[in-house]
């Protein structure tokens, strides 16, 4: 059984259309692909309503991130610092936003190849979303970037900590996202927050449903049209 078949949050018809497109009709006009993406966004909302009944909605991911920052439970930590792990940094736009708005001391670790997608994804070619091997020019005490494939760089960081953690999953791709989640899972604890930036896509919801939901109790902080955030209960 493929991972497409394992996941039940998208209708079978749309699932078939998306899979058929990705495996057969790569040449169809881009507007058709955008229409399929719109269906995914709508079904992401339907999935939320079915799964959680009511979720606080935010118009974009920056507003959702502000809610995440305000929901960080610093009292769960034995120190005043928060650990932020961003899996998928790209150009550092979200990184800058977090650092500009967070009010407590933090340790930040950002992971990315900084050379773009290792293979084509959702109409984007291999090498897209590349910063040309340059890490973002974001400096400060406690800020570190790790350039390279996640399987090669994640061992550079010790995830054992009493601090509250914010895990940001923004690799887009299924394999590295699952790899990162599995690596940090044993260090996820009550009060930690997990942010899934591409949750409207099947691949990321597979990880949410088949792994995160099976491993932890949680509460939903909120969602944007494309993303969703949870706090471990």
- 30 φ/ψ angles, rounded to the nearest 5 degrees: -60, -30
Specify the pLDDT at position 15.
Answer: 52
What's the whole-number average pLDDT of the chain?
A: 85
CA distance 180 to 56: 27
Question: Domain residues of the chain, as ranges?
Answer: 3-52, 61-232
Q: Are the C-beta atoms of residues 161 and 191 closer than 8 Å to each other? A: no
Least confident range of 68-82, 146-160, 187-201, 206-220: 68-82
Q: Which residue has the tokens 């993303």?
A: 227
State the pTM of this model.
0.84
Q: Could you read off the pLDDT of 179-208 as tens digits, one per residue?
A: 999 999 999 999 999 999 999 998 999 999
Give the CATH architecture of domain 61-232. 3-Layer(aba) Sandwich (3.40)
Least confident range of 127-131, 140-144, 149-153, 188-192: 127-131
Q: In this structure, what token pair is assigned to residue 49?
A: 């309503």
Greater pLDDT, 4 or 79: 79
3-state secondary structure 107-164: EEEEEECCCCCCCCECCECCCCCCCCCCCCCCCCCCEEEEECCHHHHHHHCCCCCCCE
Q: In this structure, what token pair is assigned to residue 229?
A: 């955030």
Q: Could you read off the pLDDT of 20-79 as tens digits, one per residue?
A: 555 554 555 554 445 567 888 888 999 999 999 889 999 999 999 999 999 885 555 555
- Model confidence at 5, in pLDDT bands (50, 70, 90)? very low
Greater pLDDT, 152 or 20: 152
């Amino acid at each position: 059984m493929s991972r497409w078949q394992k996941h039940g949050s998208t209708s079978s018809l749309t699932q078939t259309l998306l899979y058929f497109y990705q495996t057969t009709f790569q040449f169809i006009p881009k507007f058709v692909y955008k229409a399929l993406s719109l269906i995914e966004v709508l079904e992401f909302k339907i999935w939320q309503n079915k799964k959680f009944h009511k979720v606080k909605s935010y118009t974009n991911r920056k507003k959702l991130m502000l809610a995440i920052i305000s929901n960080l439970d610093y009292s769960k930590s034995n120190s005043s610092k928060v650990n932020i792990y961003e899996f998928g940094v790209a150009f550092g736009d979200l990184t800058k936003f977090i650092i500009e708005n967070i009010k407590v001391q933090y340790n930040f670790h950002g992971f990315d190849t900084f050379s773009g997608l290792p293979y084509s994804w959702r109409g984007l070619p291999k090498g897209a979303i590349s910063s040309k091997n340059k890490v973002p020019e974001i400096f400060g005490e406690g800020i570190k970037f790790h350039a390279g494939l996640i399987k090669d760089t994640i061992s550079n960081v010790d995830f054992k900590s009493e601090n509250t953690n914010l895990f940001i999953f923004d690799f887009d791709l299924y394999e590295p996202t699952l790899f990162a989640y599995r690596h940090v899972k044993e260090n996820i604890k009550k009060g930690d927050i997990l942010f899934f930036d591409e949750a409207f896509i099947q691949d990321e919801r597979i990880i949410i449903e088949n792994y995160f939901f099976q491993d932890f109790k949680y509460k939903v902080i909120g969602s944007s049209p494309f993303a969703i955030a949870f706090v471990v209960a």
